[in-house]
Amino acid sequence: MLEQLTYVQIGERLNISSEGARAIVKRNRLPRSHDKHGKTLVAIDLDELQHKPLPVRAPRRQPVNDVIATLKARIEQLEAELAAEQQRSAGDRAH
């Protein structure tokens, strides 16, 4: 069934943003017009539209907990090196 819908209405029906709806309309070259208030209306048959939402992707970056653990380990290593250098330096001053 052909309907005249705004981008917001299309987005609500497809569970996407109005920008996503605008992209679908542009990609499918759907006919557009304007209502008396200047809003864009799109002639669309949502039953025939082949829209499948993209699956949610996992972030590619390292999880925060891993980053924190890595930094803590490095800090411990640097503190140990600093303590060793301070002891060596104190021994040199004693002579």
Q: Among 46, 54, 53, 3, which Cα is nearest to 28's?
A: 46
Give residue 83's pLDDT. 94
The CATH number, out of the four listed (1.10.10.10, 3.20.20.70, 2.130.10.10, 2.60.40.150), of the domain defined by the range 3-44: 1.10.10.10
Residue 54 in tokens: 């993209």
Give residue 54's pLDDT. 65
**Count of C-beta atoms within a 10 Å radius of residue 5:** 18
Give residue 46's pLDDT. 86
3-state secondary structure 18-54: HHHHHHHHHHCCCCEEECCCCCEEEEECCCCCCCCCC
Give residue 31's pLDDT. 94
- Give every residue of the chain whose pLDDT is below 50, as ranges: none
Give residue 95's pLDDT. 62
* Domain boundaries along the sequence of the chain: 3-44, 59-95
> What torsion, rounded to 10 degrees, do the Cα atoms 87, 88, 92, 95 define?
60
The pTM for the full model equals: 0.54
